Amino acid sequence: MGMARRVAQHRPRAAAGAVETVDAITDAMLTASRLLVSLSARSIASVDDSITIPQFRVLVVLETRGPMNLASLAQSLDVQPSTVTRMVDRLVVADLLSREASARSRRELTVGLTARGEAVVQEVTARRRREIAAVVEKMPPTTRVGLVRALKAFTAAGAEPDAASALDSYWV
């Protein structure tokens, strides 16, 4: 028996009469997330194909939250400090980030975007917005109704900042 079949057998069933089951919504979100990741990867590659999605996420976090030390950046990304150190090293070499001693402590390093890093985030975000808009425009107007409200509720439940309040680029 295949893995997908085993997973399907263990999914909880929704209450009778539910408008949409959690299972159906989850399946739809998984499919939509594949599309969004594809759009994100394509928009990043069209600007600089040497940048990975996790590296781009570093750039976006620094754009939205400003310069920070490596420990805070690792916490923001929910990764180990050693992981963020390696990503930062590569992004500094690529002239997307700058690294300098912290004003608070000489032992602490602060990283921030370079002008090139800011330009990359802006261009990737603009391309991604255009690609998402093109997909939305293909949707019949009647299926767009409620989409904004549903997506905002979903992102709020997941504690993700609203794009408008996060400079339109936090999600990668």
Would you kindly state where each structural domain of the chain is located, as residue ranges? 48-158
* Residue 155, burial from CB neighbour count under 10 angstroms (0-12, 13-18, 19+): middle
**pTM of the complete model:** 0.76
Q: What is the mean pLDDT of residues 138-144?
A: 90
The set of residues, in sequence order, having a beta carbon less than 8 Å from that of 163 and lying 6+ positions away, is 169, 170, 171
Higher pLDDT pick, 98 / 156: 98
Q: What is the pLDDT of residue 19?
A: 63
Q: What is the pLDDT of residue 133?
A: 95
Decide: 35 and 135 in contact? Cβ < 8 Å.
Answer: yes
Nearest partner of 118 among 43, 54, 67, 70, judged by Cα: 67
The H-assigned helical ranges of 48-80 are 53-65, 70-77
Local structure of 113: helix, strand or coil? strand
Looking at this protein, which amino acid is placed at residue 64?
T
Q: What is the mean pLDDT of residues 161-170?
A: 53
Higher pLDDT pick, 168 / 35: 35
Q: What is the mean pLDDT of residues 110-125?
A: 97
Nearest partner of 114 among 91, 100, 97, judged by Cα: 97
Q: What is the mean pLDDT of residues 46-58?
A: 95
Nearest partner of 62 among 104, 106, 93, 92, judged by Cα: 92
Q: What is the pLDDT of residue 101?
A: 86
| Main-chain dihedrals φ then ψ at residue 75, nearest 5 degrees | -65, -40
Q: What is the pLDDT of residue 145?
A: 83
CATH, domain 48-158, list 3.30.420.40, 1.10.10.10, 1.10.10.60, 3.30.70.870: 1.10.10.10
Tokens 């261009």 correspond to what residue?
123
Give the chain's mean pLDDT: 85
Q: pLDDT-based confidence at 165, cuts 50/70/90?
A: low
Q: What is the mean pLDDT of residues 133-155?
A: 89
